[in-house]
Amino acid sequence: MREVRVVGTGLIPFGKFPDQTLAEIAWPAVREAILESGVKPKEIGGVFCGTALGGMLAGQRIMKTLGISGMPIINVENACSSSSSALSLGWLSVASGQHDVVVVVGAEKLTKFGGGTLPLEREDWEVNQGMVMPALYAMRARRYMHEYGLTETQLAEVAVKAHEHGALNPNAQIKKRVSLDEVMAARPVTEPFTLWHCCPTGDGAAAVVLASADVARRLEGKDVRIAASEVTSGLYTDHFRDMTWPELTARGARGAFEMAGIGPEDVDVAEIHDAFTIAELMYYEAFGFCGRGEAYGLLKSGATSLGGSIPVNPSGGLLSRGHPIGATGVAQAVEVTRQLEGRAGAHQVEGAKVGVTHATGGGIAGLDHGACSIHVFAR
Amino acid sequence: MREVRVVGTGLIPFGKFPDQTLAEIAWPAVREAILESGVKPKEIGGVFCGTALGGMLAGQRIMKTLGISGMPIINVENACSSSSSALSLGWLSVASGQHDVVVVVGAEKLTKFGGGTLPLEREDWEVNQGMVMPALYAMRARRYMHEYGLTETQLAEVAVKAHEHGALNPNAQIKKRVSLDEVMAARPVTEPFTLWHCCPTGDGAAAVVLASADVARRLEGKDVRIAASEVTSGLYTDHFRDMTWPELTARGARGAFEMAGIGPEDVDVAEIHDAFTIAELMYYEAFGFCGRGEAYGLLKSGATSLGGSIPVNPSGGLLSRGHPIGATGVAQAVEVTRQLEGRAGAHQVEGAKVGVTHATGGGIAGLDHGACSIHVFAR
């Protein structure tokens, strides 16, 4: 496999755009990525589009709007890992030599679903009985609190940190700080979560252009490479599972670190899947940024805040940047690429050389997630 | 890229199974393919699942039902090309050396949609104004009849041929012959199509196991290789287009033949996308099986029937085997593999060495299809 670099990034500010079609939401992100890359449209060998609920031929509709077509376009669905799985396929396409340049886009329009249920619920009896995402993560939070003595107030500090970061990010859906009191006093969703413990729903799109090292050298100044691309699925076992341990993420992180030839201590910046406050803490441990039960200590130390030793979710993460399902994975890749290139603006992690993205999702069989995609970027 | 072989095939008889979930419909096809292959479940490096309307995490739900999990599972949506695009990704995964063994599954449950509209219609104004698939193909048929003097009776003969083949296929959704009079007298759908000119809607699933040549040699008797894998998208131009010429398929066929190093004269058997009678005739020409305007002559000569020089859709094709959208591409691959292995039963094409599959679909911007996947198989 040959080296693959990120040569262009594009992102729209996440928000709610109920009057726009998915293609209208997404094309500006793709255009930005292509223009930033400097590749000509005719050089694009393939397009991989990640969307969970965007309907048929989302990638074709987006590229048609841009007037770029004729190349293979493949749409990928993997729940919250949709566009990060598309990213993995784009990586494989360039790494294998199939294409020299590909576009990967993630796009989602959640506003059109209103309060409706998601398609998965029709065929998953646990979801059908009420084990929707907030309930699932709330159960995990309760167990974690029981095991490690975490308090509701301590858990709320994750939301405070997320919004401190997001307030610095012009592309975040929620661009304001919240106080610990505000988090604690907000509308309850499911114990121990108030509204601020949960990522918002919304619409968004993000895109990257990937290219071989040969193409990247021609374009100049394109130094961020994909050092690892790992997609995994859950084990779906029926027996007892430790709810405080995200086995899927831990397994994926091991694989990604091995592929990249690094360890957690080498990571300068991470965008991880903080769909709920407890998720960020559990994933600190799954990635090995700290030991088990030590996540709150790591947060409290300031290590995972901007200015700390391993800033996590400098973009604001899912809690603040937002989580239009299929857009998240590529949005993380855009964020980390810009971080490594030193152009993340007010939320820049100084001197970052190695970054990690992590998108996991699709509850299935209760505790196991359906898909987890982890990428390591390096310069 | 290294050689990729088909080492296992699985298919359920297509039909209507409104009381089963997608996973319940699909797992027997995957099980059959794995058992036929002789690979151990733990050897499966990845799973690619094609479905257009199966909802989130279809592949994960199917593999969970089988109790096989933990490997990367990626779901692919490309309208009628969903599982043929998944097949192309599976091919790339093995060809590139990413994995030695992968499963590709196509599955669809159309009965759950009843008479409802498809998601695409919400964002495509031409579809929204009535340019649904039967209307689109009917316009093409009318233009073809105008250009080349084809009559409604002649067009109906395509349906007669399809059901002659399908009556021999125990896995076909419609397993009976129809007479020319029956086709002509059936309920009208959209002129010049009666009901028998249109593929039925239904549910179905198909699966293949792909492996490297090294693995295939160990398994013994696995001699069918994928000689070409080509995915293309439409050009979506706004100007005049010749409605009688499926540009996307013609371009894809050229690419696939070039990759395989063969020409149309080398094809012994073809499974092509006869969603409507006119489609089969147009695709004869796009593949170069005959010249433009000569398709009816080729049909009438018997060349494309069982026993002819280039039997097309010996399975009965979409018109008779059925067309559960996301299942079709892999079902075609199963059919062609079994043909090349000489075990297609009553609809065997004697001595077939080279076969082609073709799944194209997703009307977008009117005449252009969104995705077209063509594979060449050889032994």
Helices B152-166 and B133-148 sit at what angle, rounded to 10 degrees?
120
Beta bridge partners of A377: A226, A355
Measured between CB atoms, does B259 come within 8 Å of chain A?
no
What number of residues does chain A have?
A: 379
Q: Report the phi/psi class of residue A366: left, alpha or beta, with left for phi > 0 and alpha for psi in -120 to 50.
A: left
pLDDT at position B333 over 90: yes
A365 C-beta neighbours (distance < 10 Å), count = 20
Query: Other C-beta atoms within 10 Å of B182: how many?
Result: 17
> Which positions 351-370 of B are in contact with A (Cβ < 8 Å)?
362, 364-365, 368, 370
In Å, what is the CA distance from B321 to each residue of A161, A239, B51, B174, B202?
A: 57, 41, 18, 6, 10
Secondary structure of chain A as H, E, C letters: CCCEEEEEEEECCCECCCCCCHHHHHHHHHHHHHHHHCCCHHHCCEEEEECCCCCCCHHHHHHHHHCCCCCCEEEEEECECHHHHHHHHHHHHHHCCCCCEEEEEEEEECHHHCCCCCHHHHCCHHHHCCCCHHHHHHHHHHHHHHHHCCCHHHHHHHHHHHHHHHCCCCCCCCCCCCCHHHHHHCCEEECCEEHHHECCCCEEEEEEEEEEHHHHHHHCCCCCEEEEEEEECCCCCCCCCCCCCCHHHHHHHHHHHHHHCCCHHHCCEEECCCCEHHHHHHHHHHCCCCCCCCHHHHHHCCCCCCCCCCCECCCCHHHHCCCCHHHHHHHHHHHHHHHHCCCCHHHCCCCCCEEEEEEEEEEECCCEEEEEEEEEEEC
CB contact under 8 A, B57 and A22: no
A positions 46-65 inside 8 Å of B (CB): 47, 52-53, 55-58, 60-61, 63-64
Radius of gyration, alpha carbons of chain A:
19
- Pull the structure tokens for residue A159: 């939301």
Task: Report yes or no: B243 and B367 within 8 Å, Cβ to Cβ.
Answer: yes
pLDDT above 70: residue B188: yes
- CA–CA min distance A38, chain B (Å): 22
Pick the catalytic residue from A99, A163, A197, A323: A323
Spans of chain A, pLDDT less than 70: 113-124, 363-368
* First-to-last C-alpha distance (Å) of chain A: 18
Q: Which one of A53, A73, A112 has the shortest CB-CB distance to B371?
A: A73
* A370 neighbourhood in chain B, CB within 8 Å: 56-57, 60, 73
Give the Cα separation of A320 and B155 in Å (integer).
Answer: 59
Q: Do B56 and A362 touch (CB under 8 A)?
A: yes
Query: Residue B217 has which token pair?
Result: 């040699």
Mind listing the pLDDT tens digit for each residue in A168-183?
Answer: 999 999 999 999 999 9
| A231/B119 Cβ within 8 A | no
Selected residue with higher pLDDT from B206 and B19: B206
Q: What is the mean pLDDT of residues B262-267?
A: 98
- How far is B272 from B295, CA to CA, in rounded Å? 14
Give the Cα separation of A360 and B135 in Å (integer): 41
- Do A56 and B120 make contact, defined as CB atoms within 8 angstroms? yes
Residue B117 has pLDDT above 80, yes or no: no
| SS3 sequence of chain B | CCCEEEEEEEECCCECCCCCCHHHHHHHHHHHHHHHHCCCHHHCCEEEEECCCCCCCHHHHHHHHHCCCCCCEEEEEECECHHHHHHHHHHHHHHCCCCCEEEEEEEEECHHHCCCCCHHHHCCHHHHCCCCHHHHHHHHHHHHHHHHCCCHHHHHHHHHHHHHHHCCCCCCCCCCCCCHHHHHHCCEEECCEEHHHECCCCEEEEEEEEEEHHHHHHHCCCCCEEEEEEEECCCCCCCCCCCCCCHHHHHHHHHHHHHHCCCHHHCCEEECCCCEHHHHHHHHHHCCCCCCCCHHHHHHCCCCCCCCCCCECCCCHHHHCCCCHHHHHHHHHHHHHHHHCCCCHHHCCCCCCEEEEEEEEEEECCCEEEEEEEEEEEC
* B residues 161-220 lying closer than 8 A (beta carbon) to A: none
Question: For residues A46 and A26, what is the distance between their CA atoms, to the nearest angstrom?
Answer: 17
Lowest mean pLDDT among A258-267, B27-36, B125-134: B125-134
Predicted confidence at residue B365, as pLDDT, reads 55
- Distance (Å, whole) CA A323 – CA A338: 19
CB contact B110 to A (< 8 Å): no
Task: Test A1 with B231 for CB contact under 8 angstroms.
Answer: no
- Give the Cα separation of A285 and B119 in Å (integer): 40
B74 neighbourhood in chain A, CB within 8 Å = 76, 78, 85, 88-89, 231, 371
- Interfacial B residues in 111-170 facing A (CB < 8 Å): 112, 118-120, 122-124
Contact check, Cβ <8 Å, A234/B70: yes
**What domains appear along chain A, each with residue ranges and CATH number?**
4-114+202-224 (3.40.47.10), 121-199+227-378 (3.40.47.10)
Among residues B323, B347, B358, B369, the one annotated as catalytic is B323
- How far apart CA A366 and CA A125 sit, in angstroms, is 10
Which residue matches tokens 């031929």? A57
Q: What is the mean pLDDT of residues B76-95?
A: 97
Q: What interface predicted TM-score (ipTM) does this complex get?
A: 0.96
Backbone angles phi, psi at A69, to 5 degrees: -160, 180
A contacts of B53 (beta carbons < 8 Å): 56
Calpha distance A259→B250 (Å, rounded): 41
Is B80 designated active site? yes
Shortest alpha-carbon distance between residue B136 and chain A (Å) = 17
B198 has catalytic annotation: no
Residue of B71, B85, B235 lying closest to A74 (CB–CB): B85
CA A244/CA A367 separation, integer angstroms: 10
Q: Residue B240: what pLDDT?
A: 76
**How much is the average pLDDT of B281-300?**
98
Is B18 in the A-facing interface, judged by CB distances under 8 Å? no
> How far apart (Å, rounded) are the C-alpha atoms in residues B261 and B257?
6
Q: What are the chain A neighbours of B67 within 8 Å (beta carbons)?
A: 236
**B83 touches B330 (CB < 8 A):** yes
Contacts of residue A58 in chain B, CB cutoff 8 Å? 77
pLDDT higher at B128 or A86: A86
Report pLDDT digits (tens) over A209-237.
Answer: 999 999 999 999 999 999 999 999 998 87
Q: Over 80: is that where the pLDDT of B262 sits? A: yes
Evaluate if residue B122 carries a pLDDT over 70: no
CA–CA min distance B243, chain A (Å): 18
Q: How many residues does chain B have?
A: 379
